[in-house]
Amino acid sequence: MKVIELLDYLNQWAPLQYQESYDNSGHLVGNEQDQIESVLVSLDVTEDVIDEAITLDANVIVSHHPIIFSGLKSLTGKNYVQRIVQKAIKNNINLIAIHTNLDNVYYNGVNTYLAGILNLKNVCILKSKSEFSDEGQEIGSGAIGLLPESMDEEQFLIKMKSHLKLKTIKHTNFLNKKIKKVALCGGSGRFLLSEAIKQGAELFISSDFKYHEFFDADNQIVIADIGHFESEQHTIKMIHEILTNKFNNFATHYTKMNTNPVNYL
């Protein structure tokens, strides 16, 4: 099976036109006519991930985050992006990213998958993209749904910490209300806070909130910042499961590398 066939499938699952304007998803390095030996799935592409792919004889890496966000003006190994791209080229490894296009789809999307782990019901896209309203499925950012039963705020966060395998949660003051409607966004979701409030969510789960942005909860909602890597780490499992179930003519590997650049004491 050729790389182009995998690209075609990924584009059916999460079409590239659904990605955000700043993004750079798709086939970033390699040759679409290469025969796939095996595939390694990761959240990020680091030098360790490239080395892992070499060890596994995987000539394709499907990552969530693209290693190349803006244009490369040189390939001289002066920074980690250049070194990774050089190493991929040298070892004939194809790099494919499926990023905000995967964030923005409803069916098997990053946010609906996360909502499933939290056992939310009646899940829908938090903020739909009107330009894709006739595409046959809901397209847009974040997700919102209902817990099977109302829970105390602290009780829910403790349960979420366990289910999502979190080391820590940063959150705003509890409002002494029951949690029933939960909004979320994997990755950086600050831009969706007002929408979560508008739709009556008692809790908004995301990451990358700056200090002053926590004040924007304004006693209307509880913000739970769980970390960027932590909010998207389960995406690796989703991609791995889907590719494993779809294709039986090559092996799909789940990375063993922890690519989180943030450490905790």
Which residue ranges make up each domain of the chain? 3-99, 104-231
pLDDT at 47: 97
Which pLDDT score is estimated for 135?
Answer: 64
Query: Which CATH number among 3.40.1390.30, 3.40.50.300, 3.30.310.50, 3.40.50.720 corresponds to the domain 3-99?
Result: 3.40.1390.30
For the sheet with 60-63, list strands across it: 26-29, 94-97, 60-63, 38-42, 251-254
What local confidence, expressed as pLDDT, does residue 132 receive? 75
Residue 106 near residue 135 (C-beta atoms within 8 A): no
Domain 104-231 sits in CATH at: 3.40.1390.30
- Note whether 3-99 and 104-231 share their fold: yes
* Range 81-85 contact pairs with CB under 8 angstroms and sequence separation of 24 or more: 83/47, 84/45, 84/46, 84/47, 84/50, 85/29
Q: What is the pLDDT along the chain (265 residues), one digit of tens a residue?
A: 999 999 999 999 999 999 999 999 999 999 999 999 999 999 999 999 999 999 999 999 999 999 999 888 899 999 999 999 999 999 999 999 999 999 999 999 999 999 999 999 999 999 998 787 686 678 999 999 999 999 999 999 999 999 999 999 999 999 999 999 999 999 999 999 999 999 999 999 999 999 999 999 999 999 999 999 999 999 999 999 999 999 999 999 999 999 999 999 8
pLDDT of residue 27: 98
What integer pLDDT is reported at residue 175 of this predicted model? Answer: 97
pTM above 0.75, yes or no: yes
